[in-house]
């Protein structure tokens, strides 16, 4: 069954090619269905291979496809293990649903086929990233998803803000990619190969702790860029300029989790470097807190979700930072479902409100769009960490693992709890402002439930949002067991006792409930609260981080460019070129005087030169 796995990458790539070349001729909506078909087929191919891994009838294997750069041990090969299978299911499964959703959402767009070409290309790139059997191939996928992200953020490039957001995402990601690339160079210098199997098998014996720390810190720089952590998170809120299904698929469910996936994949190396682990955990916690504080005051529904994505990514990073790789990947999985659902629900709302994104102009939509209301309600409870929704289990596992590390990590656990409170609060704020209370939209807007192609994905995602958590509960650790073979050689974290775990879960549950009650109480009044305190204003302005970067990095960068363009280019470079030119011209003027045009003069020169030569030869030859 694994023989066909290469098609999981090839089919979406083929779909992208067809839509790129013939999209205009195929037209709407066939090109959309075509895109969905290729991704769905990829999913269908991966399902049996995944099931046989789940049932235990098949073992992880590396499927060799063809040789790429033999000198560095970089083949095009697929590492098919539980972690890869899980990511394949998430990417192709949610990817298919979002293709289906997009068929309705993008209706009437001028560049409809192009959109599906990019979306298919993204699926192919992401599959390349997660199925890679070596760092080189992973890096190619890593870069390609960045490209797709850029293409799709600035899909509506005639809008200047969208074009700028695409550029910002691409450039900020380049900083992270730099770290990843340097890490790969050190990996190759230390191991002489990029192959995962060889590196992870020989890891602890070949490199020192110092080298491992360098490699993992640089890998983490890559993850910081891709997974939007402090200080490189600033691109993700702007990425919301793209179409909403893109935000759901790329900037919430899949691509931004690539950093977490990469850390989990490199778990053996990260385990060797405890310093990196602490850095990762602290950065993750700080990101979770900062993003939650910003999310509170946003009024744009997509901005709230964007910051909440950053915050949840912070949780995942905290999870892998404390060595709870399974917990991090588990939260990645449940988050993929409920955050995709939240974005698609938000898209449905925006669609219904005729492109209105400001929550202050919504309210009372529950009756108008019941399916969106119910499914988003499930996602709201899941991300808030309500029992028994999926977010409760995964978030709790990360917090539990952090607490279990003891020492300074208890502080991180406390901050994590605070973030849980804030999360419940701002998600309740979003939910109530959108669906509850009285309608605040103007007379000429007529909200309506979205078409079936948009509500079906909502319902499917809603089902998983409710149920996905049950695959890994303290009484039944099926998910952890499934992933075990992917984390071979990684020390297993001792689980908390059931009693302690329950107590901690109780604490988080109380905190989450408090957040919900607080939010509900504050926002379900007839009038919206003013939100004009100092904290609210600062939070709404995202604490001025963008301005700060603008002043400290962008402005000097612009100055340097201007200097290069005006002083360096016009004076130094052009000056050199002009100087050489006029020097040669002067030399030519001097030499031109010898060209008299007098034939007899030339002949005299030849005669004199001949005499001189004869004399020289006679002298040198010793004739005189």
Partner 1 sequence: MTITITWFLLLAAALFSIGVAGVLIRRNALVMFMSIELMLNAVNLTFVAVSNELGLIEGQVAALFVMVVAAAEVTIGLAIIVAVFRTRSSANVDELAEMKG
Listed ranges 171-179, 182-190, 273-281, 602-610: which one lies at the site for partner 1 (CB under 8 A):
602-610
Nearest one of 381, 615, 622 to 519, comparing CA atoms: 381
CB of 602 to partner 1, least distance (A): 10
CB of 177 to partner 1, least distance (A): 59
# of chain residues touching partner 1 (CB under 8 A): 13
**Cα 344 from Cα 375, distance rounded (Å):** 10
Q: Establish if 161 lies at the interface with partner 1 (CB under 8 A).
A: no
Q: Which of 56, 604, 609, 614 binds partner 1 (CB under 8 A)?
A: 604
CB of 598 to partner 1, least distance (A): 6
**Cα 213 from Cα 229, distance rounded (Å):** 19
CB of 614 to partner 1, least distance (A): 12
Question: Residue 438 or residue 593: which is nearer to partner 1 going by CB?
Answer: 593
Q: Establish if 624 lies at the interface with partner 1 (CB under 8 A).
A: no
Buried b (16+ CB within 10 A) or exposed e, 9-31: bbbbbbbbebbbeebeebebbeb
Q: Establish if 607 lies at the interface with partner 1 (CB under 8 A).
A: yes
CB of 588 to partner 1, least distance (A): 9
**Cα 265 from Cα 353, distance rounded (Å):** 42
CB of 605 to partner 1, least distance (A): 10
Question: Residue 499 or residue 588: which is nearer to partner 1 going by CB?
Answer: 588
CB of 620 to partner 1, least distance (A): 21
Nearest one of 87, 90, 88, 113 to 30, comparing CA atoms: 113
Nearest one of 119, 379, 156 to 249, comparing CA atoms: 119
**Cα 142 from Cα 176, distance rounded (Å):** 11
The contact pattern for partner 1, residues 571-600, with x = CB under 8 A and - = no contact, is --------------------xxxxxxxxxx
CB of 580 to partner 1, least distance (A): 22
Question: Residue 66 or residue 594: which is nearer to partner 1 going by CB?
Answer: 594
Question: Residue 209 or residue 587: which is nearer to partner 1 going by CB?
Answer: 587
For 208-225, give the DSSP string: -HHHHHHHHHHHHHHHHH
CB of 594 to partner 1, least distance (A): 7
Listed ranges 5-13, 34-42, 255-263, 603-611: which one lies at the site for partner 1 (CB under 8 A):
603-611
CB of 160 to partner 1, least distance (A): 58
| Token pair of 230 as six digits | 């402090």
CB of 590 to partner 1, least distance (A): 10
Question: Residue 25 or residue 593: which is nearer to partner 1 going by CB?
Answer: 593
Question: Residue 583 or residue 604: which is nearer to partner 1 going by CB?
Answer: 604
Between helix 112-131 and helix 6-26 the angle, nearest 10°, is 170
Question: Residue 491 or residue 597: which is nearer to partner 1 going by CB?
Answer: 597
Coil, strand or helix at 83:
helix
CB of 167 to partner 1, least distance (A): 55
**Cα 121 from Cα 20, distance rounded (Å):** 10
Cβ atoms 299, 540 nearer than 8 A? yes
CB of 592 to partner 1, least distance (A): 3
N- to C-terminal Cα separation, the chain: 96
Question: Residue 499 or residue 597: which is nearer to partner 1 going by CB?
Answer: 597
CB of 607 to partner 1, least distance (A): 5
Question: Residue 411 or residue 612: which is nearer to partner 1 going by CB?
Answer: 612
CA distances from 267 to 93, 222, 232, 614 (A): 25, 15, 22, 84
Question: Residue 475 or residue 591: which is nearer to partner 1 going by CB?
Answer: 591
**Cα 461 from Cα 451, distance rounded (Å):** 16
Write out the binding residues for partner 1, residues 518-537 only, by CB under 8 A: none
Write the CB contacts of 114 (distance below 8 Å, at least 6 apart in sequence). 19, 20, 23
Question: Residue 411 or residue 606: which is nearer to partner 1 going by CB?
Answer: 606
| Token pair of 514 as six digits | 């408090």
Question: Residue 577 or residue 591: which is nearer to partner 1 going by CB?
Answer: 591
Torsion of CA 47, 48, 53, 59, to 10 degrees: -130
- Residues making up the chain, counted from first to last: 624
Question: Residue 537 or residue 596: which is nearer to partner 1 going by CB?
Answer: 596
Cβ atoms 222, 179 nearer than 8 A? yes
Question: Residue 555 or residue 613: which is nearer to partner 1 going by CB?
Answer: 613
The contact pattern for partner 1, residues 288-327, with x = CB under 8 A and - = no contact, is ----------------------------------------
CA distances from 200 to 78, 84, 270, 584 (A): 16, 16, 11, 62
Write the CB contacts of 587 (distance below 8 Å, at least 6 apart in sequence). none
Listed ranges 22-30, 327-335, 413-421, 601-609: which one lies at the site for partner 1 (CB under 8 A):
601-609
Q: Looking at beta carbons, which pairs linking 235-239 to residues 24 or more positions away fall under 8 Å? A: 235/165, 235/168, 235/169, 235/172, 235/173, 236/169, 236/306, 236/309, 236/310, 237/303, 237/306, 237/307, 237/310, 237/542, 238/153, 238/164, 238/165, 238/168, 238/169, 239/149, 239/153, 239/165, 239/169, 239/306
Q: Which of 21, 500, 560, 603 binds partner 1 (CB under 8 A)?
A: 603
Write the CB contacts of 348 (distance below 8 Å, at least 6 apart in sequence). 369, 372, 450, 454, 455, 458
Which positions lie near partner 1, rule CB under 8 A? Answer: 591-600, 603-604, 607
């Amino acid at each position: 069954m694994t023989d066909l796995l290469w098609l999981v990458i090839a089919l979406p790539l083929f779909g992208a090619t067809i839509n790129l070349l013939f999209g205009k001729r195929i037209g709407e909506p066939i090109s959309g269905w075509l895109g969905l078909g290729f991704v769905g087929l990829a999913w269908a191919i991966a399902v049996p291979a995944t099931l046989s891994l789940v049932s235990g009838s098949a073992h992880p294997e590396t499927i060799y496809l063809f040789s790429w750069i033999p000198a560095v041990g970089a083949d095009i090969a697929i590492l098919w293990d539980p972690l890869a299978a899980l990511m394949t299911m998430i990417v192709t499964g949610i990817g298919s649903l979002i293709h289906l959703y997009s068929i309705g959402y993008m209706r009437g767009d001028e560049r409809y086929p192009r959109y599906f070409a990019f979306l298919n290309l993204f699926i192919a790139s992401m599959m390349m990233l997660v199925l890679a059997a070596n760092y080189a191939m992973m890096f190619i996928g890593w870069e390609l998803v960045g490209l797709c992200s850029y293409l799709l953020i600035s899909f509506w490039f005639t809008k200047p803000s969208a074009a700028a957001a695409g550029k910002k995402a691409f450039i900020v990601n380049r900083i992270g990619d730099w770290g990843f690339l340097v890490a790969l160079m050190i990996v190759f210098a230390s191991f002489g190969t990029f192959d995962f199997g060889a590196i992870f098998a020989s890891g602890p014996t070949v490199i020192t702790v110092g080298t491992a720390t360098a490699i993992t810190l640089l890998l983490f720089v890559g993850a910081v860029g891709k997974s939007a952590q402090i200080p490189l998170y600033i691109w993700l809120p702007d990425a919301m300029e793209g179409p909403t299904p893109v935000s759901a698929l790329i900037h919430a469910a899949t691509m931004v989790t690539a950093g977490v996936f990469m850390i989990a994949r490199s778990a053996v190396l990260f385990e060797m470097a405890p310093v990196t682990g602490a850095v990762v955990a602290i950065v993750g916690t700080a990101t979770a807190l900062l993003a939650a504080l910003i999310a509170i005051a946003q009024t744009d529904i997509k901005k709230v979700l964007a910051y909440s994505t950053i915050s949840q990514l912070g949780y995942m990073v905290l999870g892998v930072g404390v060595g709870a790789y399974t917990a991090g990947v588990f939260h990645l999985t449940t988050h993929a479902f409920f955050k995709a659902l939240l974005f698609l629900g938000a898209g449905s709302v925006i669609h219904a409100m005729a492109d209105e994104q400001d929550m202050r102009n919504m309210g009372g939509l529950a009756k108008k769009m019941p399916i969106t209301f119910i499914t988003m309600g499930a996602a709201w409870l899941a991300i808030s960490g309500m029992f028994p929704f999926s977010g409760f289990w995964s978030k709790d596992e990360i917090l539990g693992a952090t607490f279990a590390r003891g020492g300074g990590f208890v502080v991180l656990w406390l901050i994590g709890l605070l973030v849980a409170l804030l999360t419940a609060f701002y998600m309740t704020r979003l939910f109530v402002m959108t669906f509850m209370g009285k309608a605040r939209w103007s007379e000429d807007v007529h909200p309506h439930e979205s078409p079936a192609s948009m509500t079906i994905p909502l319902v499917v995602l809603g089902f998983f949002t409710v149920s996905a958590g049950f695959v890994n509960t303290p009484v039944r650790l099926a998910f952890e067991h499934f992933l075990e073979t992917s984390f071979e050689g990684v020390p297993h974290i001792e689980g908390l006792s059931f009693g302690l775990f329950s107590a901690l879960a109780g604490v988080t549950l109380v905190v989450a409930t408090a957040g919900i009650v607080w939010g509900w109480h504050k926002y379900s009044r007839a009038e919206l609260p003013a939100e004009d305190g100092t904290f609210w204003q600062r939070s709404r302005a995202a604490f001025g981080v963008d301005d700060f970067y603008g002043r400290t990095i962008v402005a000097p960068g612009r100055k340097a460019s201007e200097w290069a363009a005006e002083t360096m280019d016009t004076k130094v470079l052009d000056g050199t070129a002009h100087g050489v030119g006029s020097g040669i011209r002067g030399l030519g003027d001097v030499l031109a005087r010898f060209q008299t045009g007098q034939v007899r003069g030339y002949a005299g020169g030849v005669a004199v030169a001949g005499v001189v030569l004869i004399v020289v030869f006679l002298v040198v030859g010793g004739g005189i």
